[in-house]
């Protein structure tokens, strides 16, 4: 059984957890969950908490394919008031920050965040891994080829499962050597990968259990779903639930989603199925 030490609060992964996505960006690929106005932020966060979110993941920078990078200063200016707003209303919900900047990670933990979620696993900021080690918080490492602005042009693999597995073997060693105790791995669905790559990773997700780390699956409303079904991201809830269910069946410990209620229902049903 995995646990995460979130600044003294022990988070058990005996049952899969649901992480709600809170985007504070003007250009996310799915506009349905963008908190553009300050007075709407708590409203959206509260709904996710009431729907059963175990973690809220706050992101101030779009990392969709082709997105343009903003500075760490601008990212922090977007994130800081959101953390403060949530903490004014709720001291208990576990907060994660979605950033590849070490300074943003450090500032966020000072404001009450207790998990760092890094799409680059330290590859975009050489100070990130040692910073997270010093902060002594869980670190979500994601696989991505290239950077968001060019990753889809680099989606070439001889064996995507093997390459991602090898990447995590090296990355886990680096994180452990630096002193990070709690590491979560994220295969990075959609990040420098085609739909075929994503389905191969999903089908082989159980292979990553050999790493003995919790696995996060971030499939929510992504291009693989809506392009396969020839629909829009706004129409991709049912498809998301299908792929989340497969991810749970294949070993995911955390689902990162826009729609918390439906993800919690998937967890409950899969757990009941396993117990039967």
Q: What is the pLDDT of residues 165-200, one digit of tens each?
A: 999 999 999 999 999 999 999 999 999 999 999 999
Q: Is 85 one of the catalytic residues?
A: no
More confident residue, 196 or 38: 196
């590491």: which residue's tokens? 183
User: What does the pLDDT look like over 84-97, one tens digit per residue?
Assistant: 999 999 999 999 99
Q: pTM for the full model?
A: 0.94
Quick one: pLDDT band at residue 253, thresholds 50, 70, 90?
Answer: very high
User: What does the pLDDT look like over 223-251, one tens digit per residue?
Assistant: 999 999 999 999 999 999 999 999 999 99
Percent of the chain with pLDDT over 70: 94
> For residue 80, what are its two tokens?
């800081």
pLDDT of residue 29: 46
Is residue 264 predicted with pLDDT exceeding 80?
yes
pLDDT of residue 199: 98
Percent of the chain with pLDDT over 90: 84
CATH of domain 12-275: 3.20.20.20
Is residue 155 predicted with pLDDT exceeding 90?
no
Mean pLDDT, all residues of the chain: 93
Is residue 202 predicted with pLDDT exceeding 90?
yes
The helix, strand and coil proportions of the chain, stated in percent and rounded to the nearest 5, come to 45, 15, 35
pLDDT of residue 30: 46
Quick one: pLDDT band at residue 158, thresholds 50, 70, 90?
Answer: very high
For residues 208-216, average pLDDT: 98
Quick one: pLDDT band at residue 146, thresholds 50, 70, 90?
Answer: confident
Is residue 42 predicted with pLDDT exceeding 90?
no
User: What does the pLDDT look like over 58-76, one tens digit per residue?
Assistant: 999 877 776 678 899 999 9
Marked catalytic residue, from 78, 80, 145, 256: 256
Residue 252 and residue 209 in contact, taking contact as beta carbons nearer than 8 Å: no
CB-count exposure of residue 254 (10 Å: 0-12, 13-18, 19+) = buried
Other C-beta atoms closer than 10 Å to the C-beta of 120 total: 21
Q: How far is CA 54 from CA 6, 45, 230, 258, in A?
A: 12, 12, 32, 13
pLDDT of residue 107: 98
Marked catalytic residue, from 222, 223, 274, 275: 222
Nearest-angstrom CA–CA distance, 20 and 171: 25
Q: Is 256 one of the catalytic residues?
A: yes
């Amino acid at each position: 059984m995995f646990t995460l030490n979130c600044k003294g609060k022990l988070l058990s992964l005996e049952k899969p957890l649901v992480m709600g996505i809170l985007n504070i960006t003007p250009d996310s690929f799915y506009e349905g969950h963008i908190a553009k106005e300050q007075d709407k932020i708590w409203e959206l966060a509260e709904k996710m908490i009431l729907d059963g979110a175990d973690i809220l993941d706050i992101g101030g920078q779009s990392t969709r394919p082709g997105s343009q990078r903003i500075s760490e200063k601008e990212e922090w200016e977007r994130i800081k008031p959101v953390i403060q707003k949530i903490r004014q209303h709720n001291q208990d919900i576990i907060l994660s920050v979605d950033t590849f900047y070490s300074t943003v990670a450090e500032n966020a933990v000072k404001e009450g965040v207790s998990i760092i979620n890094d799409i680059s696993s330290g590859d975009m900021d050489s100070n990130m891994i040692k910073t997270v080690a010093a902060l002594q918080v869980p670190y979500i490492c994601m696989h991505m080829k290239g950077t968001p602005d060019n990753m889809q042009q680099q989606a070439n693999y001889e064996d995507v499962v093997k390459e991602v597995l090898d990447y995590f073997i090296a990355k886990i060693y680096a994180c452990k050597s630096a002193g990070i105790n709690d590491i979560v791995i994220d295969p990075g669905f959609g990040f420098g990968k085609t739909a075929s790559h994503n389905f191969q990773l999903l089908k082989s997700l159980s292979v990553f259990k050999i790493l003995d780390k919790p696995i996060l699956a971030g499939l929510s409303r992504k291009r693989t779903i809506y392009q396969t079904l020839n629909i829009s991201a706004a129409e991709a809830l049912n498809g998301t639930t299908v792929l989340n269910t497969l991810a749970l069946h294949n070993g995911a410990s955390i689902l990162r989603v826009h729609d918390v209620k439906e993800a919690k229902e998937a967890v409950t049903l899969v757990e009941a199925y396993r117990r039967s």
